[in-house]
Structure 1
Amino acid sequence: MKKSVFLIIPLLTASCSKQSSEAQQMEDSLTSVVNTEVKRKDSVSKPIAEDSLQTEHVKNAGEAVKILNAEKLPCTIDQKFDAKIQKLVIRIPNYSKPSIHGSISTQNNNMNVRFNQIKLSDGTYDGPFGKEISYQIKNKGEIWLIVGKNLMAEGAVEGDFSVTVE
């Protein structure tokens, strides 16, 4: 009996230490996932720089994100739609004016691009619009102007264009 106890104790100790190392590896991988998520959130919620424009690229979604400083409006953004980028999101944090105006000018008159939607500070969306937008803003906060192709029209979906926001 004593011999069997002496054999079982080392086995139990070895199995417990193996489980703790597996738990440590799992905890380390979870920590790295959490840190990645925090970094991703931090990069999205960057403070607005002194410049009127910041650029973020969201590669997986096929969109370009531009952040405008509301105090530096009016501003013109030059953008190019290609095979990878087919959507432009213009984020304007802390927008406090009673209305917003925007227009899209294209180098190719046959280019299929428009203001698809506006996201208001309360999280609601409105749209679609055309190549110009004039919208009354009821609440202060972050406004998004979403520019993309018009699915109901024909025309080139790739090319250079400019968006002016006032």
Structure 2
Amino acid sequence: MKNFLILLLSIFFFSCQQKENKNTTVAVSDSVLSKKTNKDDKQTTAENKQITDTIVMNFRNEKGLFEAEGSLDSIHSKVFIKFKNENLGELNAQIIPAEGKGNIRFNQILFPDKTSDGPFGMDLKIELKQKGDYILVIGHSLMADNPYFGKFKVQLENKKK
């Protein structure tokens, strides 16, 4: 009886392992197909896009500003804006909600040395005294009613000293 039970358990675990391997190969092949179609398009647009809850600011617009569109919803109640600072100076940042006004603000700024500051409002002016990767956290104010859910635009301008 013990041997039969051990045999059944090993077959069960082996069959579960087979299903997991099949799913991962399908996911890999889907990502390979999407990469091939992206390369074939040859249409590269310089945009800063929100992926899940993060926007990486890599591209500047014609005015020299980092600009991106994002959205807050019940799943992603905070959006993280990542950018690299190579010059010391002043950061001017602004949030523009799609509806004009809303309970949305810069909650926090994380500096390259892992310190932080905040909260701020919809506008942010702060001295950048370090070179490296910065993270801005955008969300609704916990002190106010009606959390903001919807689209917004973020503009960052780094003025050199």
Alignment of 1:48-127 (within 5 A): 51=46, 53=48, 55-57=50-52, 64-69=53-58, 73-127=64-118
Displacement of 1:89 in angstroms is 0.4
Instruction: Summarize deviations over 1:73-111 as a string: whole Å, max 9, x none.
Output: 512211121221211101012442411111111122452
Unmatched runs of 5 consecutive residues or more in structure 2? 1-43
SS of 1:90 mapped into structure 2: strand
Q: Match for 1:131 among 110, 122, 129?
A: 122
What is the TM-score normalised by the length of structure 1?
A: 0.60
For the aligned residue pairs, the C-alpha RMSD in angstroms reads: 2.7
Structure number with bigger Rg: 1
**Pairing 1:140–2:135 present:** no
**Pairing 1:164–2:159 present:** no
What is the TM-score normalised by the length of structure 2?
A: 0.61
Residue correspondences, number: 115
Displacement of 1:56 in angstroms is 3.4
Distance 2:116 2:99 in 1: 29
Q: Match for 1:151 among 135, 139, 142?
A: 142
Distance 1:103 1:51 in 2: 20
SS of 2:151 mapped into structure 1: strand
Distance 1:79 1:140 in 2: 25
The aligned residue for residue 43 of structure 1 is none
Q: 2:74 corresponds to which letter in structure 1?
A: A
SS of 2:93 mapped into structure 1: strand
Unmatched runs of 5 consecutive residues or more in structure 1? 1-48, 58-63
Displacement of 1:119 in angstroms is 0.6
SS of 1:53 mapped into structure 2: coil
